[in-house]
Amino acid sequence: MRFKDIFVLQIIGSLTGHKYSGRLDLKLDKGTASIWFELGEVMGIDYLNLPVEKILPLILWQKQGELKLNAGTLPTRQTIQNYPALLEKNLEHHALNIPELCPILVYMSLERFSAQPIKSFQYSVQAMQLLKEITGHISVAKLNSNLPALVLWHILLFLMGTGVLRLEYETPLMALLRKIQEEMVSKTKKFMGSNVATAYQERLQQKVEQSQQEWATPLAKEISGTAILLAWIADFNTTNEEVGSISLQKRNLESTLQNLSITENQLYRYLIA
């Protein structure tokens, strides 16, 4: 199962928030990393036979690859102690410019899990204040915070990595993709007739239903990042080539994208980058 534009740190946090028990396998560039969970707690980790303190910097910031969930597969022994403390240590040593590294994250919706911030976290007071703002769906870009950007992201990443917060991708991005689809259907009907427009909708729906089977559960969708949405775009592009005039559909798409707002257009470009 593919994932993209979501850090492994976030995937671990989502599984923590859902009290997951089992093994997460991550197929990365140099091999497969395995992380064991018991009721959401990180119990064990293995990657290239390295010690834990060397593994985390190598995997936490990976933001694309393939993963597999093996529910119920528990470790024979605990090989990691106090994962939140190790996560915070890594955040301190890797003050990354997240908007530059993965700009699409700024536009995704923040959502709460039921867990509360760990009191030993150095920014626990600021974290509690920040959480008061997150009562529904709100993007990072719309947070009313006076914190320096690096501190804000340090807090957000720690909260996401420990199962307090998650970023929700599907709602904001599918709203944009549906808008593009509806406009394309309208243009297809206008220039090629209602029969072609109906065939266009049916072909796209058929393709999407088939490709989305890779992410069959809500949890799988949650930890896929933008991968599931990029699969939708691939189906959309193929449908544009298969139904109607290719040259006309190309012009229709260009016109549709030009009519998006500046923010929508930017978001779409980040998505397909």
The per-residue pLDDT for 166 is 93
> Cα–Cα distance between 188 and 204 in angstroms, integer?
13
> Cα–Cα distance between 16 and 38 in angstroms, integer?
9
**pLDDT tens-digit series, residues 40-89:** 999 999 999 898 889 999 999 999 999 999 987 777 666 788 899 999 98
Q: Which residue has the higher pLDDT, 247 or 146?
A: 247
The per-residue pLDDT for 72 is 79
> Given a cut of 80, is residue 102 above it in pLDDT?
yes
Query: H helices within 212-245, ranges in order?
Result: 218-222, 227-242
The per-residue pLDDT for 155 is 92
CA angle (54, 71, 60) in 5-degree steps = 25
What is the mean predicted confidence (pLDDT) over 147-162?
90
Q: Is the dihedral of CA 185, 188, 191, 192 positive or negative?
A: negative
Backbone angles phi, psi at 245, to 5 degrees: -80, 125
What is the mean predicted confidence (pLDDT) over 144-173?
89
**Residue 14 · residue 6 · CB < 8 Å:** no
**Residue 35 · residue 24 · CB < 8 Å:** yes
**Residue 37 · residue 21 · CB < 8 Å:** yes
Helices (H) and strands (E) in the chain, counts: 12, 8
> Cα–Cα distance between 151 and 170 in angstroms, integer?
27
The per-residue pLDDT for 95 is 62
Q: Is the dihedral of CA 192, 197, 198, 203 positive or negative?
A: positive
**Residue 19 · residue 40 · CB < 8 Å:** yes
> Given a cut of 80, is residue 207 above it in pLDDT?
yes
**pLDDT tens-digit series, residues 243-269:** 989 999 999 999 999 999 998 999 999
> Given a cut of 80, is residue 208 above it in pLDDT?
yes
Angle between helix 83-93 and 149-161 (nearest 10): 160
Which parts of the chain are beta strand (E)? 2-4, 22-28, 31-38, 41-46, 64-71, 109-112, 138-139, 165-168
Question: SS3 sequence, 93-144?
Answer: HCCCCHHHHCHHHHHCEEEECCCCCCCCCCCHHHHHHHHCCCCCCEEHHHCC
DSSP 61: T
